[in-house]
Amino acid sequence: MFRHSLVLPRVARWLASAAALSVAAACATTPSSPEAAMQTPAATPSAATPGARPPIEVAVTFDDLPAHGPAIPGMSRMAVIESLNATLRKHQMPPAVGYVNGHHVESRPDEREVLKAWLAAGNQLGSHTWSHANLREVGLDAYLKDIDRNEPLLAELAGTADDGRAWKTFRYPYLQEGTDLPSRDTIRKHLFARGYRVAQVTIDFGDWAWNDAYARCVAAGNTKAQESLREGFRKTAVNFLRWADAAGQQATGHRMRHVLLLHAGAFQAQTLDALLTSYEKAGVRFITLDEALQDPAYAVDPGVGDTWGSSFLEQLIEGKRVPHPPFPLQPLDVLDAVCR
């Protein structure tokens, strides 16, 4: 849902984007709104001080390692990873998981060093298929082979932990778990048989879409637009956090543990510090992906077949038909128009 913005006239697109950024404020005007529910401690699997509002717990993950989005002059892929690593250290973050498309390393062997630097900083790797496969385009058999093809690289770089799960988490490209229930079930069975856990996503604000816009603004030398992009990125990230917190409580009955989707691009390297700071101010406590996936919500199978671009929360809402706050809008059309 979020990944596909509506085709809107220019003015309407800006209004829609502004509306997305004000969802939390709109919800707060109604006492019975999901935002109001955020003010009351909910049942949670996390330990909390009696009577205190529990924190919003969030695991941070990055897709498309070792490289995402356009290259920026003067900023190598290694510089992007080193910047992300430095920001994660600054915020004393627990290990983040980066989801790998191995074909990058095959075509650019030097990018193997990027993955090694990510691991050396104490972070982890997971599988994102070999080629970022699109199930609709390649077909089911080729998709399963693409999953398997990624394993030798990950095993070589990340090794195996005592429980055999060091890199055995899987992130679906495009968040597409299937094109229908049979294909979805076949992929899940394949993953589970090979020991994978699914790294679901509950906070996805379309961060990937900022990278092309940022590259165009850098090329144009438009520093004002670059600053606007950075601020819009931060505000949109916070808005989607608030939506996920409220929607998660309505869908599960407790303040669930969340998984944030980011991408390993040059723009994320520029903005990660501001994003993490804003999340901390919003009451977030950062946790590992392992801790997040212990939330009982992730044991629920929403039973939704065609999931292109749908987060786990969207699937829960669709599968369980639960009430939810109005869906916020990823400002994809606005970003596509910037610096053109």
**Which residues lie closer than 8 Å to 257 by C-beta, 6 or more apart?**
45, 46, 57, 58, 59, 287, 291, 292, 294, 295, 297
Euclidean distance between CA atoms 149 and 131, whole angstroms: 9
Per-block average pLDDT, block size 10, for the chain (340 residues)?
34 33 32 32 42 86 96 94 98 97 92 96 97 97 98 88 70 97 97 96 97 97 97 97 97 96 97 98 97 97 93 95 92 95
**DSSP state letters, 238-277:** HHHHHHHHHHHHHHHSB---EEEEEEEEHHHHHHHHHHHH
At 54 the pLDDT is: 82
CA–CA gap between residue 234 and residue 208 (Å, rounded): 13
> Domain map of the chain by residue range?
56-337
CATH architecture of 56-337: Alpha-Beta Barrel (3.20)
- What is the model's pLDDT at position 300? 94
Interatomic CA distance for residues 309 and 295, integer angstroms: 22
Question: Residue 263: what pLDDT?
Answer: 98
Instruction: For residues 211 and 72, give the distance between their C-alpha atoms in angstroms, rounded to a whole number.
Output: 10
8-state DSSP, 297 = G
- The set of residues, in sequence order, having a beta carbon less than 8 Å from that of 181 and lying 6+ positions away, is 303, 305
Q: What is the dihedral of CA 247, 252, 257, 260, to 10 degrees?
A: -40
